[in-house]
Structure 1
Amino acid sequence: MEEIEMFEEVLDGDVNGTGSVNQFMDDIRNGRYMELLTTSKCQEVYCQYLDGNCDSVTLDVLLEKSVKIYMDHNCTTPRQQLEVLCMGIASLYAFVQSNWTGPPLENYQYPACDDCIVPWLQSWYKGSIMSEKQLQDEVTACLVLDGEICCPVMSHPELLLLARVCLQVCCDRPQPLLGSKWWLLRCLFVHQQVLDEFSPTLHKGITALLEELVKCEALMAKEHNHICFHLEAAQIHLFYRHVVKSQEHCKVALKAANMNLELTGALGKRTHFQMRELAQLTLRVSVDESSRPVHFPIAQSEHLPKDLRLNNEVRLDKIKFSNETDGEFPTLHPLEQAVVLGIFVQTLKSQPKDKLADEELMPYLMCLLSHPVLWSLQMSALLQRCRLEGHNSRTVERAMMQTEELVQCFTKRNPHAGLRHHYIFCSHLPPHWKVETELADLLVSLGVVKSALDIFLRLQLWEKVIMCYNLLNLRHKAAEIIQKELHKKETVTLWCLMGDATDDPLCYEKAWELSGHKSGRAQRHWALYYFNKKKYAESIPHLQESLAINSLQLSLWYFLGFAALVQENWSLCATAYQRYCALDPESFEAWNNLSKAYSKMDQKFRAWMALQESLKWNYENWHIWENYIFASTSIGKFHEVIQAYNRVLDLKEKHVDTLVLEILVDGVCSSEAQGDLKKKAEQLFTRLTQQVRNNVKLWQLFAKLTLTNIDNETYDELEKVVSYLHKAFWSAIQDSGFEKDIKDTLGTMQITSQLIDATLLCCSKCPRPEKTAQMLASAKLCLQTLIARIKRFYPSLLSREECQDEMAVRLKALETKLEEVSVELQKQKGAL
């Protein structure tokens, strides 16, 4: 067992010897945690400082002092330290048994107590002035961190408190035992999972321990510890949404386990009536046999969570492959199964949620379920399958029944807790009340709202209760049930939920006062009351207050950023989205909004960098690419402009932004290193003009881009310029009413002037007289056409004084050019 292996050196290999420490280890190995915690030795360790001190300081401080005093006076050897550490481990395991795995705890030596199961702690509060209720309030108050409370249905919180105190003191020793900090890490992560929201205090402690443990070569020297730690680290990082860090740990674990996992295709059938075999996904698992462990503990098959059959009239229970070996998986060691499970969850969290992704994930679960060996891994794999199948009409019923079976597993007496807890800390298994919540959610999706309501009421999930009453058109009942609970005991949570049920902000104020101005939850509900009503200015102070109490409330940073964006408070908006992106770097929307805030603050480069992050997480959104075009343009990143513009065309087909294109052309023309940049820009314009053939400005800019250096242009390039300006001209005059708009008319006259200049320059370099004559004739036709149309409307245009002089000057200039072209054309005809 991994607990024994971690402390082999302390025991000098005598894991089955005599003495209290060996007995303690044996109790842990066999799941007899309460037998350990009810020993006189345990009472001696924890109760050194309790008597007569209950009024002065909090219970956790008293317990910490007790453990510290005992260890200072009695723990001079590693074995003595290990005795105390075993008490912390047993407390943690007992808490996990009570809230994660089952079976429900029993006290073997004392009558059962609903609230406090530790007999000596029970005896202490009976001997003090505290009532039983006051003791539980004191215990839960000690577990509140950063204003975040524990789940109200959590059982025996005193066990978590004892574990945290004992493990912390053991780690604070001058020379802590190897592995003690790993157990503290596990304890802190368990504590985090029973809180409503992320705790910055716990996050800081967990992060520090992870960084310290990964560098502990003595601990990581053993392959088993090395793999287990990285699997647990991956799970923790995923919990905090650090997908990239989690992926790194999964890769290390996979490599250390000498395993290779590869999704591959094989012909097979998925339904009963399928006639033709199609390609189906399966997982190919290869393991280095030379380094595999031989012996490992397993629970008897009848004691493992039952894998229910699908029993669907259309879909097969599992894929029937044409080659049966394609659907077969090797029998894996539990640690290898834990690696497969870790890779599965990592893949699940890092992919978008769609049916295709589900098809890629199911082979991992089929591998795990093909050879069940451990209770925790079988339980987790079945729960993960329920989550995938809960969204499919053909499998949702099995998902509901399977989840119900998993809920019932918690109360079964077999297997014992020791077998259930193998690899529990890398199993991705949630507390049992969250499994029940998922069952109730499935019942709601199937329309069985009343049954779901009963579960939500028992679990005190009042938000879900309100939802169910709304679905049943009984919203008034939600307020009644919460009011009933408030009569029993006023709590911050209940007052917040009363505000949600009645839309009365005074309830949030009451919750805030009740907490002594310490509840982040009260401010959170208060803020969301205004936010959901789009009263963003009113919501901002409450969002800030809640985040000041707990800065790891991910959704609140997003809401604060959005509210500030609407209010155009760009500094606050940028700060909020910065914090959000630091916690969840995969949100493309947050990065996009952060870029907008930077842009408004005239921090152009930071805006551009933020959009690059946004594109990492959503490569298919043309709106983000369009924003990236603007940001790249503003800082002169013209290579990026061209790349982004091409991507927009991939996604949108047609997209013309003449302002951006004009800046791009000016940038290319003024660039010293034109070669590659000009070539890519020309390719972009070629693509654009193939899609949009009648945009005047587009052809005009294409001509300008081609004619970047008039002194060094070749005849071929000049011919292209003439061709582009011809297309610009005919696109302009094809609008039958362009003459009616002064601006359009002046613009067309300018294009025509450019066309004549380019034609004459091209003719001067043209080696063929007949081609020269042809170009001059075409230019003459353009001039005659434009002049005739302008003269037709010229009287009405001259009546507008603001353009009279400019129009007359430009018209006379065109007539002069017409004469020049006519003379040149006659010369060319005479030379032929």
Structure 2
Amino acid sequence: MTASLEASILWGVDRSELCDEALEDRVRRWTPTGLGAPTARAWQTATVRVIRREVVAAIEAVQRWRIVPSDTTVSPSPSDQAAMDYVYAVALLLAFAQHNWTGPPVHLEAQAFSDATISLLQVDGEELWAAPGTASWLALSQRLLWEKVGAAASAYHIWWYGRAVWAHQQCLSGPSPVLQQRLRQAYGYLLRDQVSDVAASADEPTLAALPEGTPLQDPRERRLAGVEWSLIQHHYYQAEQAVASLEAAARLSAVRVEVSGAWGVRLWHQQRQTALMVARTEDPPNANGASGDGQMERRPVADEFLLPRDVPLHDPDVIGRSVVSSAAAAVASSTLRTEDALLVLTRCALARSYGAETRLAGEQLAALVQLVLDTARQSDARATTDTLLRAYALLLRCRLEADKGRYQERTLHQMEELCEHWYAAAAIDPHPVYRLRYLWAVAYPPRWQLHREYAAVLGRLGLVKSALQVYQQWDLWDEVIDCHRLMGNMPRAERLVLERLQRCGRTPRLLCVLADVRAFLPGRSANAAEDTDPVSALYAEAWRVSGGRYARAQRSLARWAMRHGRHADAVRHWQLALALNPLYPDGWMALGYSAQQLGQWDTAAAAYTRVVQYEPDHAEAWSNLGGVLMQRARSTVEDKAAAESTTPADTVDADHQRALECFQQACRWRPDMWRLQYHALVAANVVGAPAVAISALRRLLAIRNGPGWTTVTDDGMQLTRLVQWLERGNAEAVDDVQQRWARHLVAVLQETAVPAGVSEPLLWDALARLHALLGERLAVLRYRQRQLRCVLHRDECKHGRRGAGVSSADHEAVCGVALLAARSARDVEGGEEEASPLRRGLLQQLQSVRRQCAGQGEAGASCGQLAALMAEWE
């Protein structure tokens, strides 16, 4: 089969691009040699229909050819069978994609297919979600494509097989390691020289017979395959690799898109322009159509002529989009081609891979989405290739506006447009060619997932019954249970599941759903033993019925055990579930928590490590991993100290350094959480990293009075430990390094704590000791006096004894602070002008302390030393 023919099958051709007579003539000239006359005619008919994306006619043509040879004594040759199987597999895959993603719905003979193969598609214990009667289309397409993979297979053949596997993965309830390996094989061959981490996967023995070199030579095809691969990597939690793949694909385009600021308005009656975030395109004048599909004529087009329809915003104040005043910004989007818009939308799909989710990131996504929508409005009537990209852009806009009050009505109607009207539209425009062309390179969800999002919008608006109908339509039983629980009607949910069990039998999924329902019934409580608990028994039955292949049963058993504090059982169940499918970050997170509760530090550390490998921006997992490493190091040091009689405080384990790195990562993704900053401060003090400790202390003090802050008495102790570490640097003399860190820490405290009105004895003590390191004795005296005043005031407030003297329980501590203040006053040279009033004020405070401590019983060491020093001073 020629490369030109396979490229036409890959992209599809509409009648506006090539008439029927010209296409049929080309297909006749592209007919493979060696085919029999009946096979050649059937092949030509099926191939033309596949190129036109008339999938029903193509499938029926192949089926008629299969029936005719069965009535004769002559069986088809291997070349005949191979040629027809290839076209048949592509047609089945396109039919499956059209019916489950873009529409219009596909209607095939029910007797020709059955869902008996659905169990084969449920790999790694994950459930398959697909429209009834269509699962066999995907299974047969994968089998036909895989059987012909070998030395004679073309790059397009491998590409279609990868697309079939990618469609299979998107219809599963979770990521599959088996399918991930198959996708690495297929796209590793296609993009062998484009992305470095894919090159290693091209050496898999299954594809060892494929030809050497880069299979895809056309930059347009290489860019499309690169975009598809970036979405696959993102689906499997490979964030950095996904970004690298997308950037490699973007380098094949001459157009560059950037997000910047511009003056404009968002309200109809806005008089004063404000700074808005907009997306601009930069198209070199000598691009010569380098982006792939050439420069098209542009003229404004009304939204009503485009599908899917852009639902307007009915609000007297809000325009619905950003309107910039700069003419250059308004015209910039006219240079955005279809495949460049694809790169923009893929960047939006990988938004989390680029960094933490912030409000600024949301504004950037909104600007990129508006750029794509504006491009469609400025296209002429032939620009229907934007139809799927436009649908995904509208979906992204719905997600961005879902939590904004004035946009909720438009979000509801826009989701309804995508779920029902556009999917069912059987009009010529947009033709299925344009709906399916970029399906595998756009993160547009399958229908069941799209309806789930639509029902979630209904639920947020309080339309719970309407959301319930959508969930029941797609058998989304977990959400059905949530709806009944919100309505307080769990017995009704139980009756629905029991009725379904009578019709469908005791399938693993329905057994788990029934257990979920009964777990939330009023008065439901778990027994102490798992083997006597009826809810656990249903989950265990689901596991047995599935033959030990239904991962959800073990996950449910683990959650049920965690809910009732049976962490040992939870660890066992999570390990069984994750052994079946390890691509489940929430499961690893829960396993780490249960193991941590049991003191199994190695298991917990390994589990949290898997979480951060899958989701590098998971701040909680980073924090938990750091805490586990600190606890493991502490237990290791204590065991060693018990065995060798060493001092644990003098031992620093290697896990402490790793824990510090984990807390730093957690602070990177959640800089607003004070607890993470505090943990980073503790770990830095243990390791002896003053730069990290001072930085963490700065952020901790900056958010001390922010939302979520609770009084933590240990923060002052950590400050004291940091100062002690600086003091231990050189016992004989203070070096330059100590002074540099001391000055840095003093600047941080004076910048954050002192202006904020923080009055803590430990703060003034730390400042006094830091100035002592710097040799500034007058400052030491000033802060010691503040420390003494703060201690006296705290004692009076604590006991409600203003002017009544120091309490007997605290007089030794007060005398100790007073002694430090007296020594600092003695060390100040008497010739300093500012020293005399400070010393006189301090002397009055010390005399007051002595009077208040009189009659407190036997004087302590500090009291005696203070009395002797004052006698010498006076």
Task: Say whether the fold is shared (TM-score over 0.5).
Answer: yes
Question: What's the counterpart of residue 13 of structure 2?
Answer: none
Aligned counterparts, 1:585-624, within 5 A:
585-602=616-633, 603-624=655-676
Q: Does 2:772 align with 1:704?
A: no
- Give me the whole-angstrom Cα distance separating, in 2, the residues matched to 1:446 and 1:251: 39
Q: Match of 2:251, SS?
A: helix
Question: What's the counterpart of residue 698 of structure 2?
Answer: 646
Q: Does 2:784 align with 1:725?
A: yes
Question: What's the counterpart of residue 751 of structure 1?
Answer: 817
- Give me the whole-angstrom Cα distance separating, in 2, the residues matched to 1:32 and 1:772: 95
Letter of the structure 2 residue corresponding to residue 747 of structure 1: A
The offset of 1:493, in angstroms, is 0.9
- Offset from partner CA, 1:195-223 (integer Å, 9 cap, x none): 11221211233245444443246245422
Change over 3 Å in CA distance of 1:351–1:757 after alignment to 2: closer
Contact between 1:243 and 1:349, CA under 8 Å: does it hold in 2? Answer: yes
The offset of 1:631, in angstroms, is 0.9
Contact between 2:155 and 2:216, CA under 8 Å: does it hold in 1? Answer: no
Task: Select 2:582's aligned residue among 538, 542, 551.
Answer: 551
The offset of 1:668, in angstroms, is 0.9
Question: What's the counterpart of residue 425 of structure 1?
Answer: 440
- Offset from partner CA, 1:107-137 (integer Å, 9 cap, x none): 4xxxx22x644xxxxxxxxxxxxxxxxx522
Contact between 2:46 and 2:61, CA under 8 Å: does it hold in 1? Answer: no
Contact between 1:92 and 1:187, CA under 8 Å: does it hold in 2? Answer: yes
Question: What's the counterpart of residue 526 of structure 2?
Answer: none
Question: What's the counterpart of residue 402 of structure 1?
Answer: 414
Question: What's the counterpart of residue 341 of structure 2?
Answer: 337
Aligned counterparts, 1:452-491, within 5 A:
452-490=467-505, 491=507
Task: Select 1:31's aligned residue among 34, 46, 53.
Answer: 53
Q: Does 2:817 align with 1:817?
A: no
Question: What's the counterpart of residue 515 of structure 2?
Answer: 499
- Mean CA deviation greater in 198-207 or 353-362: 353-362
Change over 3 Å in CA distance of 1:400–1:81 after alignment to 2: same
- Offset from partner CA, 1:256-298 (integer Å, 9 cap, x none): 2122223334444433444444443332222235232455999
- Offset from partner CA, 1:124-160 (integer Å, 9 cap, x none): xxxxxxxxxxx522x1121120111211635421221
The offset of 1:520, in angstroms, is 0.8
The offset of 1:640, in angstroms, is 0.9
Q: Match of 1:408, SS?
A: helix
Letter of the structure 1 residue corresponding to residue 338 of structure 2: P
- Give me the whole-angstrom Cα distance separating, in 2, the residues matched to 1:390 and 1:761: 67
Change over 3 Å in CA distance of 1:432–1:512 after alignment to 2: same
Q: Match of 1:146, SS?
A: helix
Q: Match of 2:125, SS?
A: coil
Task: Select 2:288's aligned residue among 291, 315, 319.
Answer: 291
Letter of the structure 1 residue corresponding to residue 164 of structure 2: C
Q: Match of 1:218, SS?
A: coil
Question: What's the counterpart of residue 96 of structure 1?
Answer: 97
- Give me the whole-angstrom Cα distance separating, in 2, the residues matched to 1:296 and 1:4: 25
Question: What's the counterpart of residue 389 of structure 1?
Answer: 401
Task: Select 1:517's aligned residue among 548, 556, 569.
Answer: 548
Task: Select 1:637's aligned residue among 689, 696, 703.
Answer: 689
- Offset from partner CA, 1:598-652 (integer Å, 9 cap, x none): 1111132221121122122112211110110011111111221111101112222
Aligned counterparts, 1:270-285, within 5 A:
270-285=266-281
Q: Does 2:748 align with 1:684?
A: yes
Q: Match of 1:601, SS?
A: helix
Question: What's the counterpart of residue 312 of structure 2?
Answer: 309
Change over 3 Å in CA distance of 1:519–1:751 after alignment to 2: same
- Give me the whole-angstrom Cα distance separating, in 2, the residues matched to 1:635 and 1:96: 55
The offset of 1:820, in angstroms, is 2.7
Letter of the structure 2 residue corresponding to residue 627 of structure 1: H
The offset of 1:302, in angstroms, is 5.2
- Offset from partner CA, 1:689-741 (integer Å, 9 cap, x none): 454565333333333333338xxx4xxx2222233333333333444569655
Q: TM-score with structure 1 length normalisation?
A: 0.81
Question: What's the counterpart of residue 238 of structure 1?
Answer: 234
Change over 3 Å in CA distance of 1:664–1:566 after alignment to 2: same
- Offset from partner CA, 1:715-771 (integer Å, 9 cap, x none): xx22222333333333334445696555633333333444444444433xx6x3877
Contact between 1:4 and 1:25, CA under 8 Å: does it hold in 2? Answer: no
Calculate the aligned-residue CA RMSD, in Å. Answer: 3.7
Task: Select 1:787's aligned residue among 850, 853, 856.
Answer: 850
Change over 3 Å in CA distance of 1:91–1:397 after alignment to 2: same
- Give me the whole-angstrom Cα distance separating, in 1, the residues matched to 2:790 and 2:408: 59
- Mean CA deviation greater in 286-295 or 455-464: 286-295
Contact between 1:482 and 1:494, CA under 8 Å: does it hold in 2? Answer: yes
Aligned counterparts, 1:131-210, within 5 A:
136-137=115-116, 139-151=117-129, 153-171=131-149, 173-174=150-151, 176-210=153-187
- Offset from partner CA, 1:385-442 (integer Å, 9 cap, x none): 2333333333322222222222233233334433321111112111123223333333
- Mean CA deviation greater in 239-248 or 627-636: 239-248
Change over 3 Å in CA distance of 1:424–1:493 after alignment to 2: same
Q: Match of 2:410, SS?
A: helix
- Give me the whole-angstrom Cα distance separating, in 1, the residues matched to 2:690 and 2:358: 36
The offset of 1:487, in angstroms, is 0.8
Contact between 2:268 and 2:317, CA under 8 Å: does it hold in 1? Answer: yes
Letter of the structure 2 residue corresponding to residue 523 of structure 1: Q
Q: Match of 1:291, SS?
A: coil
Aligned counterparts, 1:409-420, within 5 A:
409-415=422-428, 416-420=431-435
Letter of the structure 1 residue corresponding to residue 748 of structure 2: L
Letter of the structure 2 residue corresponding to residue 699 of structure 1: W
Question: What's the counterpart of residue 210 of structure 2?
Answer: none
- Offset from partner CA, 1:217-248 (integer Å, 9 cap, x none): 62454221232122212222332343333333
- Give me the whole-angstrom Cα distance separating, in 1, the residues matched to 2:268 and 2:815: 74
Aligned counterparts, 1:111-122, within 5 A:
112-113=109-110, 116-117=112-113
The offset of 1:81, in angstroms, is 6.7
Task: Select 1:380's aligned residue among 383, 392, 397.
Answer: 392
Contact between 1:219 and 1:225, CA under 8 Å: does it hold in 2? Answer: no
Gaps of 5+ in 2: 11-24, 32-39, 194-212, 377-383, 520-533, 634-654, 706-710, 731-736
Letter of the structure 2 residue corresponding to residue 393 of structure 1: G
- Give me the whole-angstrom Cα distance separating, in 2, the residues matched to 1:33 and 1:739: 94
Q: TM-score with structure 2 length normalisation?
A: 0.77
The offset of 1:193, in angstroms, is 0.8
Q: Does 2:64 align with 1:5?
A: no
- Offset from partner CA, 1:666-706 (integer Å, 9 cap, x none): 21122253242222123234343454565333333333333
Contact between 1:560 and 1:576, CA under 8 Å: does it hold in 2? Answer: yes
Change over 3 Å in CA distance of 1:758–1:234 after alignment to 2: same
Corresponding residue pairs, total = 748
Question: What's the counterpart of residue 658 of structure 1?
Answer: 716
Contact between 1:30 and 1:419, CA under 8 Å: does it hold in 2? Answer: no
The offset of 1:322, in angstroms, is 4.3
- Give me the whole-angstrom Cα distance separating, in 2, the residues matched to 1:420 and 1:772: 84
- Give me the whole-angstrom Cα distance separating, in 1, the residues matched to 2:320 and 2:845: 75
Letter of the structure 1 residue corresponding to residue 695 of structure 2: Q
Q: Match of 2:29, SS?
A: coil
Aligned counterparts, 1:69-80, within 5 A:
74=78
- Offset from partner CA, 1:537-572 (integer Å, 9 cap, x none): 543333332222221122222222233334444333
Q: Which structure has the bigger radius of gyration?
A: 1
Gaps of 5+ in 1: 49-68, 118-134, 799-803, 823-832
Q: Match of 2:279, SS?
A: strand
Q: Match of 1:280, SS?
A: strand
